[in-house]
Structure 1
Amino acid sequence: MTRHEEQGDAGGRVGRRSRALKAVGLAVAGLLVLGTAAAGYAYWHLDDNIKSVDIDSALGDNRPAQAVIAPAASAGASPLPTGALNILVLGSDSRSGKANQELGGGDSSGARSDTAMVVHLDAGRTRASVVSIPRDTLVTRPSCPLSSGGSTAAAYHAMFNSAYSVGGPVCAVKTVESITGVRMDHYIEIDFSGFAKLVNALGGVTVTTDEDIDDDKSHLHLTAGTHHLDGTRALALARTRHGIGDGSDLGRIGLQQKLVKALLEQMAATDLLTDPAKLYQVADAVTASLTTDTGLDSLAELTKLGRSLKGLAADRVKTVTMPVVTAPSDPNRVVAEEPAASELWASLR
Structure 2
Amino acid sequence: MGDQSRGGRIRATGARRRKPGAGRRAMTVAAWAAAALVLFGGSGLGYVYVKLNGNIKGIDINARLGTDRPVDVDNGSMDILVLGSDSRSGANSSYGRDQGGARSDTAMIVHVDEGHRTASVVSVPRDTIVERPDCENEDGGTADGARRAMFNTAYEVGGPACAVKTVERMSGIRMDHYIEVDFTGFKQLIDELGGVELTTTEAIDDPESHLRLEPGAHTLDGEQALGLVRTRHSVGDGSDLGRIQLQQAFVKALITQVGEIGLLSSPKKLYDIGDTATRAITPDSELDTVKELASFAGGLKNLGARDVNMITLPVRYDPADPNRVVPLEKASEQVWAALRADRPIPASATADSAGDKGDASDVVTGG
Deviations 1:54-106 (A, max 9, x none): 1111111111111114xxxxxxxxxxxxx011000001112232x2213x222
Q: 2:81 aligns with which of 88, 92, 114?
A: 88
CA distance in 2, matches of 1:187, 1:127: 19
Give the direction of change, closer, same or farther, for the CA distance of 1:137–1:108 in structure 2 (3 Å limit). Answer: closer
1:41 maps to 47
1:19 maps to 25
CA distance in 2, matches of 1:241, 1:112: 17
Contact 2:81 2:109 in 1 (8 A): yes
1:40 shift after superposition = 1.5
1:295 shift after superposition = 1.0
1:148 shift after superposition = 1.8
Deviations 1:296-337 (A, max 9, x none): 111111111111123323222111111110112101110001
What secondary structure, in the 3-state scheme, does the structure 1 residue paired with 2:158 have? helix
1:246 shift after superposition = 1.2
CA distance in 2, matches of 1:208, 1:141: 39
What secondary structure, in the 3-state scheme, does the structure 2 residue paired with 1:20 have? helix
Q: How many residues align?
A: 333
Q: 1:188 aligns with which of 179, 182, 189?
A: 179
CA distance in 1, matches of 2:191, 2:264: 18
TM value normalised by structure 1: 0.90
1:3 shift after superposition = 8.5
1:26 shift after superposition = 2.1
CA distance in 2, matches of 1:329, 1:120: 32
What secondary structure, in the 3-state scheme, does the structure 2 residue paired with 1:120 have? strand
- Unaligned 5+ residue runs, structure 1? 70-82
1:172 shift after superposition = 0.5
CA distance in 2, matches of 1:53, 1:18: 29
Give the direction of change, closer, same or farther, for the CA distance of 1:8–1:258 in structure 2 (3 Å limit). Answer: closer
CA distance in 2, matches of 1:305, 1:209: 34
CA distance in 1, matches of 2:97, 2:148: 25
2:360 maps to none
What secondary structure, in the 3-state scheme, does the structure 1 residue paired with 2:142 have? coil
TM value normalised by structure 2: 0.86
1:63 maps to 2:56: no
Aligned pairs for 1:1-349 (under 5 A) are: 2=2, 6-10=8-12, 11-12=16-17, 14-31=20-37, 36-37=43-44, 39-69=45-75, 83-97=76-90, 99-102=91-94, 104-107=95-98, 109-349=100-340
- Unaligned 5+ residue runs, structure 2? 341-367
1:15 shift after superposition = 3.2
Give the direction of change, closer, same or farther, for the CA distance of 1:29–1:305 in structure 2 (3 Å limit). Answer: closer
Give the direction of change, closer, same or farther, for the CA distance of 1:190–1:7 in structure 2 (3 Å limit). Answer: same
CA distance in 2, matches of 1:93, 1:23: 29
Question: Considering only aligned residues, what root-mean-square deviation do their CA atoms show, in Å?
Answer: 2.1
